Amino acid sequence: MSVEGGCECGALRYRVTGEPHDTGYCHCRICQRTSGAPLQAFARVRADQLAYVRGAPAVYHSSEWGQREFCPHCGSQLLYRSREAPHDIAFNTPTLDDPGLFPPRQHVWYGSHLAWFEVRDDLPRS
């Protein structure tokens, strides 16, 4: 399996070569602020299953434990890397060429969800 994605302007492209072992919606305040949205849809793969195939990302250390990688030209946020789990990468599924490939299976950091935005589904919330 091999799928690709990238930023809005096309300067950054990445390839995923494995099935995600985790997918979801993140409601944490950092995802809300860095995406400008109520939540961020993500999929998590092993670090060796994702590689940039065009361009080099800018890096923002969003916390003591993690960093976000984004396009230095258009600002699109593509992925998150955690110091606590360097073997994993969470990429933002809406940046895939086919964003419907890996539907969310859970909600994380749901305690930070915005009261005026509710996703009506039966997925687990933590």
2 confidence band (pLDDT: 50, 70, 90) = very high
Helix (H, G, I), strand (E, B) or coil at 32: helix
Mean pLDDT over all residues of the chain? 97
What does the pLDDT read at residue 105?
98
pLDDT tens-digit map of 24-71:
999 999 999 999 999 999 999 999 999 999 999 999 999 999 999 999
Encoded tokens for 60:
């923002």
57: which 2 tokens? 């990302």
Given the DSSP bridges, would you call strands 107-108 and 22-26 parallel, antiparallel or unpaired?
Answer: parallel
Place of tokens 């949205």: 37
Q: Residue 61 has what pLDDT?
A: 95
Residue-wise pLDDT tens digits, 97-117: 999 999 999 999 999 999 999
Integer Cα distance of 11 and 34 in angstroms? 19
Residues 14-28 pLDDT 10s: 999 999 999 999 999
Structural domains present in the chain: 3-112 (2.170.150.70)
pLDDT attached to residue 58: 98
Res 69: pLDDT: 97
